[in-house]
Amino acid sequence: MASERPHSRPRRTATATNVEPERLQKLLSRAGAGSRREVEGWIEEGRVTVNGHVAEPGQKVTVSDRIELDGRRLETASAAETVRRVLMYNKPEGEVTTRNDPEGRPTVFDSLPKLKEHRWIAIGRLDINTTGLMLFTTDGELANRLMHPSRQIDREYAVRVFGEVEDAMLQRMHDGVLLEDGVARFSDITSAGGKGINRWFHVTLFEGRNREVRRLWESQGVQVSRLKRVRYGPAFMPSRLSVGKWEELDQRSVDALSKAVDLPSITLPKKTPGEAAVHERKQRKQPSRPVKKGRGSKWQVSGTKAPADRKPARKR
């Protein structure tokens, strides 16, 4: 009889339900409307209303409230449940990190797979001339924690420098340099090859201020001729991921990112047949843009792992 059968374990679901009131910017960020910083700006400008009234900073809402931006209702149903998916993208030069560019330039979102019920949220930014690792997620809370300075998530870059580099310059950048927006420093600097006035370095920092890597080097009188992000926290860019391509992270990799910012694990949702077909086509397709290498020299930093004698920088 059915009543005599042993009870099976409850299945883990691919979502976490959120029913308690929470701050407006947090809910809209999780729904994919924009980053928390963007939403806070909209609220300060008086562009957001809740149930017909102008929203206030710090106001708490639920998914049942009617939330509008410039008179247009925002869809927040997806924020009722947290779906945590993460994409890794190898950004090429020439793409901007914005959803819509007024100048009509290609954006990093143009190449990503489309979602029906959620939106991809960029975890950090890269300027138009910087290439390499970008992460995108459907979970606004994960994105916010990975970007917030208080979490001290380190980012590693491979940088080619044009100019004479002296040990004293490296020490100054490690100790801290006063830039126009405050003191900036590299937590780690390691030589990665090259000769003369064209040398490669791996550098690590815990912030993501605008053009911070380039400005730090420029403060020492040298120029950055090439810049590529190769790591974001525990996520390394695999050498198999060619320029302009993306791949979705598996459960283990997503859990590592979640653990880094003290978030509990959420089981990944199963892909629909259509999504699975897109992934299969991507894997069969040959790379469309080969990585360019300098004549007569090896690009020693095209991979994503740090040299064997190095470990990721420790938090200060």
3-state SS of the chain is CHHHCCCCCCCCCCEEECCCCEEHHHHHHHCCCCCHHHHHHHHHCCCEEECCEECCCCCEECCCCCEEECCEECCCHHHHEEECCEEEEEECCCCECCCCCCCCCCEHHHHCCCCCCCCCEEECCCCCCCEEEEEEECCHHHHHHHHCHHHCCCEEEEEEEECCCCHHHHHHHHHCEEECCEEECCCEEEEEEEECCEEEEEEEECCCCCCHHHHHHHCCCCEEEEEEEEEECCEECCCCCCCCCEEECCHHHHHHHHHHCCCCCCCCCCCCHHHHHHHHHHHHCCCCCCCCCCCCCCCCCCCCCCCCCCCCCCCC
What pLDDT, on a 0 to 100 scale, did the predictor assign at position 31?
78
- Residues of the chain predicted below pLDDT 50: 1-14, 286-316
CB proximity list for 55: less than 8 A, separation 6 or greater: 24, 43, 48, 49, 67
Active site (annotated) includes residue 127: yes
pLDDT (0 to 100) of residue 252: 96
Q: What is the pLDDT of residue 33?
A: 79
CA–CA separation, 191 and 206 (whole Å): 19
Q: Report whether 108 contacts 96 (CB < 8 A).
A: yes
Residue type, 130: T
pLDDT of residue 35: 77
Q: What is the pTM of this model?
A: 0.73
What value does the mean pLDDT of the chain take?
82
Catalytic residue, candidates 127, 175, 181, 250:
127
